[in-house]
Amino acid sequence: MSAPTVRRRRLGAKLKALRGELTLEEVAEKSCGRFVSSKLSRIETAKSPAKAKDVEALLDLYVELGREVSDELRAALLTLTKEGSQRGWWHSYRGVLTPVYEDLISLEAEAESVSSWQLGVIPGLLQTGLYAREIIRATAMSEAVEARVDALVEVRLARQAVLTRDAPLTLWAIIVEQSLRSTSDVDGLMHEQLGRLLAMGQRPNVNIQVLPANASLHVGQLGSFTILGFGPHADLDVVHMEGLTSALYVEERDQVAAHRDAWQRLTSAALSVESSADLIAEIRKNT
């Protein structure tokens, strides 16, 4: 059995919320034999992948039981279900990627928006190949990662296709000024990287803000995070947080909401998009 993905956990959590105060046994009984409690439990706990026809039938049952299931929510949950059984381009890198990283890539592929706060690096979706290679090397904490640098660079660049696809993902990135002033032994690395930021910032689906070095103390100093948004249903949103040797996802609604509040504070503390572009261009002149 494969390990539960973030997508399956989100689907299970929403189905559990729709079940409400009913027990699994009560739902199984009301389904007239379509479901057994053990199967429902495996779906809700993400221990087994759900089939689209089962999710459809379960949603129909919940509607009969008086639950509110809008067309938009139904479509979103069925998309979560169907996408979970499909292989993305990243599947060919399965021996290179951790399950958590695979989850991030699949979520980016499905998300409508990404709000990224980075405390020390340029966001992966905006990195050049040179920058990606050097930052992967600089942060590698094991020989296994060092041996996979080429493949990891390929993956990082391939992820960026979400910004230029039909119906592109909307990216809003806030970057600390210190990251723009990083130095490298590779000639022209930061000059190229800053040029990449300026070019991508001109796209209608990309906004880049810089938090200046002289900013007051702020909530972002507690760590980097990325909010992946899925349209009108905020309860399907998820927060990705990455550390030196591990990563985790935050899915509880109140905690996701707290990160959204933190994000709003950071957008207010950062320079405007226009002023940020001016600062990036100024720094680039001296690199």
Per-residue pLDDT of the chain (287 residues; tens, 9 = 90+): 344 566 787 789 889 999 999 999 999 999 988 999 999 999 998 888 899 999 999 999 999 999 999 999 999 899 888 766 666 788 888 888 888 888 889 889 888 999 999 988 999 999 999 999 999 999 887 777 778 999 999 999 999 999 999 999 999 999 999 999 999 999 999 999 999 999 999 999 999 999 999 999 999 999 999 999 988 767 778 999 988 777 888 888 899 999 999 999 999 999 999 999 999 999 999 98
CA atoms of 123 and 209, how far apart (whole Å): 12
Nearest to 27 by CA among 62, 66, 55, 74: 62
Cβ contact 103:7 at 8 Å: yes
CATH number of 90-285: 3.30.870
| Residues whose CB falls within 8 Å of the CB of residue 238, separated by 6 or more in sequence, listed in order | 6, 10, 107, 227, 228, 249, 250, 251, 256
Number of continuous H segments (helices) and E segments (strands) in the chain: 13, 6
What CATH superfamily classification does 6-83 receive? lambda repressor-like DNA-binding domains (1.10.260.40)
pTM for the full model?
A: 0.82
Domain segments of the chain as ranges: 6-83, 90-285
